[in-house]
Amino acid sequence: MILTGTYRVKGFISLVPGARVTDYMVEAKDFIAVTDAEVRDLNDRHLLNAPFLNVSRESVHIVAPL
């Protein structure tokens, strides 16, 4: 799950086997590729589903595995 200042994004990121989410975030460029994404606002209102979504790394506040 990725939290931005406005949205909650649930989905999948591709990690190299044995890699940590922290390692992925440090090595990410400008965007984080999320597949099977579901986006909700912070009031839990469903906004969209997408097979692929780029999330701006600069807008990420929290990342947590579910």
> pLDDT class for 35, splitting at 50, 70, 90?
very high
Q: Domain limits of the chain?
A: 2-63
pLDDT given at position 45: 98
Can you tell me whether residue 35 is helix, strand or coil?
A: strand
pLDDT band at 19 (very low <50, low <70, confident <90, very high): confident
**33 falls in which pLDDT band (50, 70, 90)?**
very high
- Predicted TM-score (pTM) of this structure: 0.86
Q: How far is CA 37 from CA 5, 6, 18, 45, 64, in A?
A: 17, 15, 23, 15, 15
pLDDT at 29: 87
